[in-house]
Structure 1
């Protein structure tokens, strides 16, 4: 059944501090409220220096029953999850429990492939390892190429389970509690009640309930969160509250060879768990995320302390991710233009 999604507006702008008053609100509203057969269904939150500039919610958590989205509704955030995993790994590094350049067999002796004697945590964090399956050789010589990987981050989760003696679910739960992120969860941890339904557009243009939302490894792409919690995360993460200064610097450094032809943004540099973009002399840190039925984005601009968070639970045009991320790209463009103009 094909649903016509009526956009419902539940929140109004709190503060606009970029440039001309209400310029961001007008531009984003114009984008979102334009009549289309593929309307935005989700949450948009823009904040600057701890103040909310734009926070609006459009559409439904359950389209069939027309249940309106709410502020604390949780979305699967896809690859935004990788920065959580990277922080957990690097906290073990800060404690001296792991070395970034020691072969991972030191932590996972049960691995059977020879690449365990060559691949390091650094390789896993930067997607330069070439592992495609645990029981197969790497697809290229370790450290010589880049290939965006989910399994690498699952191995990172296993490594810190080994070094800490705690489950990855428990480690992440403790981290989120430390940050005050009350609505962010590893999906195996009980306690979340506000996960929205994800939808995917099929080949006929119908919006269908997504049944494979959690097909990704959790450490790589299946954490649940909210827009407000991701704002809290950005403040804690980028202000240096979670990692030592030298470690955070590594996170934000373009790592040698960690360059991807990104399906949305083209040539893209990676640090540890995030992209590092310096185009137009603007430092932009963060990540997009895609999980079946969910399309997400979380970017941070250190100079203006600006967070740009967009969470959507309808995935359109999944055969062309540039179209899938249409609203996310356009909102990011609006914010970047504001920063270029007024800062």
Structure 2
């Protein structure tokens, strides 16, 4: 009887285990379908075109592609499609730097000049490795230079050559004083890695990270290389697409020149839990706020933030980073406490990946994801461009009444600048005016409107909007620079 009872209990326990396992699988399948439905809706509305991967409790529950990796040959995006990841590159650079610190080859508190003796600019003896890693150096970011995209972005440079283009720049503030996102800093870090190791940044990356982690679908993107499964980059023009402008990949360098896949970035996320590539002490540095400036909490190559869950006001701690480079924008979100990961790689230029990540995070935690709306901005673009101001304003009033459409500040700003760059200055002004009216608490809307008025030679209105922008955000260096330029005329 005792033996029979044990067998009965064992059988019941086995059945309970099977039942629990089946229930878990059903929950995972349900989450996967909800994520797919959400991303399908974003894709339908032209707001996501790329590859996505989601891990829940460390296990992949969703991995799919949406839309086309190449629109000209109708090649679909897949989980193994290679996308340029832009500034997600910075976390790889940060790990390489911290590895060299662990080996005693670099010191975080030592200045640039210790490792780059030929660097003779104002930053040489006052900006440290620490300042470069957390964007507090005060060195101007080369991507913000007025003629960068027109005059430099298509030309190849060696690291030594390109550093000279910004080395003599005046510091925008005292190092360590505040946070200001900066591609120049991470370019310098790549150059320092090369000088200290005697190898190219690409070779060091391959030997120290990509090979040990078996990340065979990640690397430094060279335009000349025949790269299988490489996604083409596109930009939106209203609801249409164009090929993204060419960018020589020697320019983003250690700040943004890598390509990867959703699947490889999952490997990367898993590796960051262990000690194969970095010690616990170094990871603590990387994932802790090394600078806190307003809403900016930045470690080394990662932003530290919170992601909302549902409508209760609750949130979960995350470490995350986005990337934007001609034709691509990307986002990686790690929730270390939950062991969750969200990877979004989009190859149609700027789109709001954070909203998608919030929706996916809600699904993972049993909450409803907010359904996206069609873009008012994208509908307005061709009307303003082809039919003029009156038609554009009329279309805007019509769309505002339609509950299936929504308006986003960044999208309207994007449309305004597309019009501005195409010589449609009057139309751009009206789009920026709509953005100011819809988002009056955003300093950036006034900054953009000020620029449009400046290009239209409406000096007083330009000054008024730039002053308003700076009043709302005293750290708006671009606004200060443009205001000084206008007043000097």
Structure 2: distance between partners of 1:84 and 1:37: 33
Q: Displacement of 1:103 after TM fit?
A: 1.0
Corresponding residue of 2:235: 200
Distance change >3 Å, CA 18–CA 115, structure 1 → 2: farther
Corresponding residue of 1:332: 357
Contact 2:86 2:257 in 1 (8 A): yes
Greater gyration radius: 2
Superposition pairs of residues 231-250 of structure 1, within 5 angstroms: 231-250=266-285
Give the alignment partner of residue 269 of structure 1, picking from 284, 290, 297.
297
Q: Displacement of 1:239 after TM fit?
A: 2.4
Contact 2:83 2:261 in 1 (8 A): yes
Structure 2: distance between partners of 1:72 and 1:36: 22
Superposition pairs of residues 61-140 of structure 1, within 5 angstroms: 61-132=69-140, 133-140=166-173
Structure 2: distance between partners of 1:251 and 1:63: 38
Contact 1:198 1:314 in 2 (8 A): yes
Q: Displacement of 1:337 after TM fit?
A: 2.5
Structure 2: distance between partners of 1:79 and 1:16: 39
Contact 1:104 1:116 in 2 (8 A): yes
Q: Does 1:47 align with 2:72?
A: no
Q: Does 1:170 align with 2:203?
A: yes
Q: Displacement of 1:38 after TM fit?
A: 1.4
TM-score, reference length from structure 1? 0.83
Corresponding residue of 1:227: 262
Give the alignment partner of residue 190 of structure 2, picking from 153, 157, 165.
157
Give structure 2 stretches of 5+ with no counterpart: 1-21, 141-165, 308-313, 368-489
- What secondary structure sits across from 2:272 in the alignment? helix
Distance change >3 Å, CA 284–CA 94, structure 1 → 2: same
Contact 1:16 1:24 in 2 (8 A): no
Q: Does 1:56 align with 2:64?
A: yes
Structure 1: distance between partners of 2:125 and 2:138: 14
- What secondary structure sits across from 1:254 in the alignment? coil
TM-score, reference length from structure 2? 0.59
Distance change >3 Å, CA 336–CA 36, structure 1 → 2: closer
Q: Which moved more, 1:49-58 or 1:16-25?
A: 16-25
Structure 2: distance between partners of 1:87 and 1:206: 39
1:164-209 CA-to-partner distances (Å, cap 9, x unmatched) read 111101111212111110010012495733221000013x542001
1:255-274 CA-to-partner distances (Å, cap 9, x unmatched) read 133x46xxxxxx24111100
Corresponding residue of 1:310: 344
Contact 1:43 1:56 in 2 (8 A): yes
RMSD (CA atoms): 2.4
Corresponding residue of 1:26: 33
